[in-house]
Amino acid sequence: MYCYRCNGALDLKKDSCSRCGADVRRFKKIVYASNRRYNDALTKANARNLTGAREDLLASLHLYKKNIPARNLLGLVYYALGEPAEAMKQWSISRDISSGSNAAERFINSMQKNMRELNSENNGIQMFNQALLNARNGARDMAIIQLKKVVSVHTNMTKAYNLLALLYIEAGKTDQAEKMLLRCLEVDRGNDTAVRYLKALREAEIQGKTRNAGSVGDEERDSLIIPVRFRDYGSYLSNALYILLGLILGILIAWFVIVPGRVEQRLGKAEAEKLSYEAEISDLQQRLASAEVTTAEAETTSGEEDDPTVKPDDGPIERMPDYPVNTRWVPNQNDVEQGVVDVNAGRYAETVNEIFRVDQSNLSPTNQMHYLNIISLLFSEGVYQRMQAIAYNYFATADYEGAALYYDALSRLHPEGPEFRSKAGQAYEATDDKRTAANRYWQTAVLFPETATGRDAIYRYVMLTGNSDVPQYEGEIPLEYYRQPLSYSDIVSKIGGPDD
Amino acid sequence: MIDFEEELKKFKPSLEIDRTEDAVLEQEENDMVDLMIELMSEYRTNQ
């Protein structure tokens, strides 16, 4: 025992504090009274009269609030009555009063170690509070369901038993109410509420007022409506299993229902795109065919007035023979691939005959690339020399049409060489195609004025046309127009070419 | 006979565990010793 004033240790045989001199007679009487109530409570607690023990312990603490054994026992009683939070509260206060060798410290640690049980207890308390709220709000059926769950898990929660019994009594289910009250009294023999309810039930039973004919039917209905299957709050494994099953089911639904729909939708889109491209290709082919026809008609109707190299007073010149219209060539991948096959097979002449009549502007970018690759292949394989030999042979055997064709082709392959244009002019002159011959001489003279072939071309032009001089090209000819083979179409568009 | 409404009023919500700390802080408990000290103090003051 410690002094109430200085907290010094008291000698129980003396009436005053040896440290501060305070009179402790009344204080000792109060403490003794508190201890007596504690002893009574302990006896009642041992007899499982928890409510009586709680009342004694509360009285003991009202006398002396620092009675540590009484406070710790009160916590235990609360815990046994299904009130773990109240128990924690009492033990926490006890620990604050005396932090030494206090049993409250052990109780608190024990509870905090078992968090799962603590959470389960808390869930039970929350559900009881909710049930109480529902009962007050008139939702008694819901309250009964919740309380049945609570007492099935927390079998020592006497408040829940009593409230459930009260609701059963109100619903006329006296048998079930009695059952709950008896279970409550098994936990707490001194529970005055349960005793009072039970007494009222017994009296009513004797008087035959509370039991009626429909009570048995109500009981059966209750057992039918309310499933008597309770779930433990701590069944995390089953929860995880349910979630896993849900996920698997969701994935299966997505796989068998959603994915096929998406695939079908994509296939439909691809089919629509394919049809639109086919329609576009068909339209372009029609436009290409009509453009070719229009070009052929324009060439037949256009006269020599379009040729800037021939003077108006040159007199009638025969119409330039057109090259045969290349109707077989269709700028598609197959023809180009066939050209590659021909080159690889050594059929250079056949390849050249087809390829050199193709206008690159009519080719797709892919075919243009193949076209240029084939030309490169032809060079690398010596077709250039072979064509030269063929052209020479044609010329030597007086097959001037063939020679003109090949020399024009060679001048395309090798635009930097003036001799092919000049030779082409000579071939055309031999076939009496004076207009085209004059054109080739003029090209040679304008493009290569410094070379011997260029000067020879001037002489031939003058001799053929009877003009005193070669007409100059208007403007400066960019070097790249004839230095770079790939820009030859630009030369043709500016000053005319073999196909003009 | 049990009066349901009256009996229902006697039931109080249970203290939840996560409210324990607040409940401890809100606790203001006076015992007989406090009363005795207060009386003795008043007695001395009057003298």
Distance from CA of A93 to the nearest CA of B (A): 7
Q: Do domains A25-113 and A121-225 have the same CATH topology?
A: yes
- Boundaries of every domain in chain A: 25-113, 121-225, 235-301, 306-495
Residue A279 has pLDDT above 70, yes or no: yes
Nearest CA among A464, A462, A457 for reference residue A434: A464
- The answer to whether the CB atoms of B20 and A27 lie below 8 A apart is no
A95-116 pLDDT, tens digit per residue, is 888 877 888 888 888 888 888 8
pLDDT given for residue A105 in this prediction = 87
Residues on chain A touching B6 (C-beta within 8 angstroms): none
Residues on chain A touching B32 (C-beta within 8 angstroms): 30, 33-34, 62-64
- The answer to whether the CB atoms of A122 and B17 lie below 8 A apart is yes
**Rg from Cα positions in chain A:** 58
Nearest CA among A424, A452, A448 for reference residue A438: A424
Distance from CA of B47 to the nearest CA of A (A): 17
A147-158 pLDDT, tens digit per residue, is 998 998 888 899
How many other CB atoms are there within 10 angstroms of residue A82's CB atom?
25
How many helices (H) and strands (E) are present in chain A, helices listed first?
Answer: 23, 0
CA distance A469 to A465: 10
CA distance A19 to A337: 119
Nearest CA among A466, A498, A119, A124 for reference residue A310: A466
pLDDT band at A430 (very low <50, low <70, confident <90, very high): very high
Residue A496 has pLDDT above 80, yes or no: no
Read off the pLDDT of each residue in A269-294 and give the average, rounded to a whole number.
78
Whether the CB-CB separation of A445 and A470 falls below 8 Å is answered with yes
pLDDT given for residue A245 in this prediction = 93
Quote the tokens at residue A168.
Answer: 């059963």
Nearest CA among A380, A382, A383, A404 for reference residue A392: A404
- The overall average pLDDT reported for chain A is 77
A164 part of contact set with chain B, CB < 8 Å? no
- The answer to whether the CB atoms of B33 and A30 lie below 8 A apart is yes
Distance from CA of B23 to the nearest CA of A (A): 7
A392-403 pLDDT, tens digit per residue, is 999 999 999 889
What are the Cα distances from residue A384, in Å, to A115, A412, A444, A488, A495? 94, 11, 20, 17, 25
A481: three-class secondary structure by DSSP: helix
CA distance A123 to A453: 109
Residue A413 CB-half CA count within 13 A: 28
**Rg from Cα positions in chain B:** 20
Nearest to A64 among B13, B20, B31 (CB): B31
Residues on chain A touching B35 (C-beta within 8 angstroms): none
Distance from CA of B6 to the nearest CA of A (A): 11
pLDDT given for residue B43 in this prediction = 86
Nearest to B13 among A122, A132, A197 (CB): A132
pLDDT given for residue A431 in this prediction = 92
pLDDT given for residue A37 in this prediction = 92
**What number does CATH give the domain A25-113?**
1.25.40.10
Nearest to B31 among A26, A61, A128 (CB): A61
Local structure of residue B22 (DSSP, 8 states): H
pLDDT given for residue A255 in this prediction = 85
Local structure of residue A101 (DSSP, 8 states): S
A356-378 pLDDT, tens digit per residue, is 666 666 666 666 666 666 666 66
CA distance A188 to A184: 6
Whether the CB-CB separation of A34 and A60 falls below 8 Å is answered with yes
CA distance A481 to A487: 6
Whether the CB-CB separation of A428 and A416 falls below 8 Å is answered with no
Residues on chain B touching A126 (C-beta within 8 angstroms): 16
* Chain position carrying tokens 């249970």: B14
* Chain position carrying tokens 């002094």: A3
Question: Which of A75-79, A296-300, A338-342, A458-462: highest mean pLDDT?
Answer: A75-79
Residue type, A451: T
**Which one of A31, A88, A97, A137 would you mutate to disrupt binding with B, by most B Cβ within 10 Å of its Cβ?**
A88
Distance from CA of A129 to the nearest CA of B (A): 5
Go through A462-481 and write b for each residue having 16 or more CB atoms within 10 A of its CB, e for each that does not: eebbebeebeebeeeeeeeb
A132 part of contact set with chain B, CB < 8 Å? yes
**What number does CATH give the domain A121-225?**
1.25.40.10
A68 part of contact set with chain B, CB < 8 Å? no
- The answer to whether the CB atoms of B23 and A61 lie below 8 A apart is no
Residue A216 has pLDDT above 60, yes or no: no
Query: If interface means Cβ-Cβ distance under 8 Å, which residues of chain B face chain A?
Result: 1-2, 4, 7-8, 10-11, 13-21, 23-24, 27, 29-34, 36-37
Nearest CA among A67, A47, B25, A48 for reference residue A57: A67
Nearest to A4 among B20, B21, B37 (CB): B37
Nearest to B16 among A85, A92, A197 (CB): A85
φ, ψ at A401 (rounded to 5°): -65, -45
Whether the CB-CB separation of A202 and A182 falls below 8 Å is answered with no
Task: State ipTM.
Answer: 0.89
Residue B21 CB-half CA count within 13 A: 1
- The answer to whether the CB atoms of A85 and B31 lie below 8 A apart is no
Residues on chain A touching B39 (C-beta within 8 angstroms): none
**Which one of B10, B28, B33 would you mutate to disrupt binding with A, by most A Cβ within 10 Å of its Cβ?**
B33
* Lowest pLDDT segment from A335-344, A389-398, B18-27: A335-344
Local structure of residue A66 (DSSP, 8 states): T
CA distance A61 to A38: 9
Specify the CATH superfamily of domain A306-495: Tetratricopeptide repeat domain (1.25.40.10)
Residues on chain A touching B25 (C-beta within 8 angstroms): none
CA distance A94 to A351: 109
CA distance A189 to A332: 103
What are the Cα distances from residue A24, in Å, to A5, A30, A98, A243, B47? 9, 10, 21, 67, 20
Read off the pLDDT of each residue in A429-438 and give the average, rounded to a whole number.
88
